[in-house]
Chains A and B, each alone.
Chain A
């Protein structure tokens, strides 16, 4: 009799243990999830930063051809933009100011856009830098671009120094270049 009772009690204890372990695991998991940064707001550093810049070479929106390597030896701001992008319009005057300051060059990549609206967009702000057409967004994929405007500061030796998500200001770019110079780039 005592053996059977012991067995039955052991069974009950097993279920209790299972319940307790499950509850603890669920609690631990809930705490873990609750203290994580929400995936929608997490900022992961770009994997291409501190690496050689992926190549950009192809036809420009005006009909010529251009390559990023043409700017080797100078600080380059690779700017992904589109004529349909509202934030790009806010950023454009700042890029013009940065370009005119002579601190560095600007190379635009026209992301998933048509040539004619892109030419009109650049002309509206007096932007006279080359804009490589990227109608299928394949250059953007190589650079890990999610949505324009996104910019990358490339060192004179062709290393990506930083990724800038959203509109950037000329002042900020000037400081970034100065700090990069101070660090030997």
Chain B
């Protein structure tokens, strides 16, 4: 029995040493993570605060050249690019600095010519602030959660109460020197006796065996099964396999993601560009900027000659221009484009709305106009066009209602 107990204690000591090494490794890892977080934080801080403008004219020129994007390049600053447009902007900056313009004035002038897209870094205001704050917040949170266990351990050590992982209450003495809490309990074989436990160890929480020896508290079958499962799942080899599997999973995921992204990138870019130009063109149409709208619609139709929205809106704009300038050819061309749009996408409400207007005001076909309005409304048109055409719809309805009375 004595031999068995000694073997148990030896086993416990080996486990304790192993756990100590693990603990030391864990602490070292946390220190490394903390260090990395600190380096990232410092880098962000240096990058952000180093943007303070240099005072010398040459320094200002160099700094400003790095602030603007080359208009004809992809992801290059004016400073990094030797494109013709970048050379022009470099000359502009140099001239303006020589004439005494401030950095803000130079920036405003370039934004007035090229728009916000000329800025290499997003503005540090409005919604753009999120882009600046988010990384700081994440790094701070990461640092806090990484360092918290170390800091709390330090507090515990200073207060002389041992490890914070020790689940025992403050007045509980350690079971075995260097072993604490659940760790010690889980390592002691169930039901085995330990002969040389400290005398101060109270009997209140644990069973006391005969001859002053103490045993672990008895555990239920389920608890033992759970402990065994936990022990098995956290064994070194299992962790190793889990780590390899996790890494492989991550690599495969990233690879698959990149492959899919590359496959869809050119198509998505083309579609996004077309969609953006179309939205802009429709916006221009409703804000009265017909020339800009027409130009953008031409671009969309250049990419896709059968784009129904672009056809309908281009037709509508040409039709209106034809009516205003009394040009039958433009009116006819406009109508044909609207009809083409309906032929390609029969349930496109805006095209039906435009056709209704053409029927009503050019051909005075009130019944036909009402039919088109009916289709227009049935296809859930957008609120913008609904508002725009509502007056015409009312006129058409009024005309149809009035027609029987005027018909002989």
Contacts and interface: CB of A to CB of B under 8 A. Distances in A.
Interface of A: 1, 3-5, 7-8, 11, 14-15, 18, 21-22, 25, 29, 34, 36-50, 54, 82, 111-112, 136-138, 140-147, 153, 161-164, 172, 175-176, 178-183, 185
Interface string B246-275: 000000000000000100010011101100
Interface stretch (B83-91, B209-217, B232-240, B386-394): B83-91
B291 interface: yes
Given A47-B112, A146-B114, 16 more contacts: A18-B141, A22-B141, A38-B265, A38-B269, A41-B272, A42-B273, A46-B115, A49-B289, A111-B84, A142-B113, A143-B113, A146-B85, A178-B330, A179-B291, A179-B318, A183-B291
Q: 9 nearest interchain CB pairs? A: A137-B88, A182-B324, A146-B71, A144-B113, A182-B321, A37-B272, A147-B72, A179-B321, A40-B74
A141 B114 CA distance: 8
Nearest to B91: A136
Main secondary structure of the interface of A (DSSP, over half): mixed
Interface string B293-307: 011001000000000
Interface in B67-81: 71-72, 74-75
Contacts of A144: 71, 113-115
A131 B9 CA distance: 97
B115 A178 contact: no
Nearest to A50: B289
B106 to A, nearest CB: 11
Contacts of B298: 172
A138 B92 contact: yes
A47 B83 CA distance: 22
Given A43-B273, A142-B113, A176 B142 contact: no
Interface stretch (B165-173, B348-356, B365-373): B165-173
B95 interface: yes
Contacts of A36: 272
B148 interface: yes
A14 B148 CA distance: 10
A73 to B, nearest CB: 18
5 contacts: A45-B292, A47-B115, A48-B112, A141-B92, A161-B291
B149 A161 contact: no
A182 B265 CA distance: 40
B134 interface: yes
Contacts of A175: 294, 318, 321, 330
Given A14-B145, A141-B92, A146-B85, A182 B134 contact: no
Contacts of B28: none
Interface residues of B, number: 64
A85 to B, nearest CB: 9
A50 B290 CA distance: 11
B325 interface: yes
A44 B116 contact: yes
Which of B88, B117, B166, B324: most chain A Cβ within 10 A? B88
A140 B85 contact: yes
B325 A182 contact: yes
Nearest to A113: B84
Contacts of B88: 112, 136-138, 140-141
Interface in B298-353: 298, 317-318, 320-321, 323-325, 327, 330
B277 interface: yes
Interface in B163-206: 164-169, 172, 181
A136 B114 CA distance: 17
Nearest to B298: A172
A175 B133 CA distance: 49
Given A1-B167, A4-B167, A45 B113 contact: no
B148 A11 contact: yes
Given A43-B276, A45-B115, A112 B87 contact: yes
Contact of B164 (A7, A40, A137, A146): A7
B269 A41 contact: yes
Interface string B135-149: 000100110010011
Contacts of A111: 84
B110 A141 contact: yes
A180 B293 CA distance: 11
B169 A3 contact: yes
B280 interface: yes
Contacts of A142: 113
Given A138-B91, A138-B95, A147-B83, A15 B280 contact: no
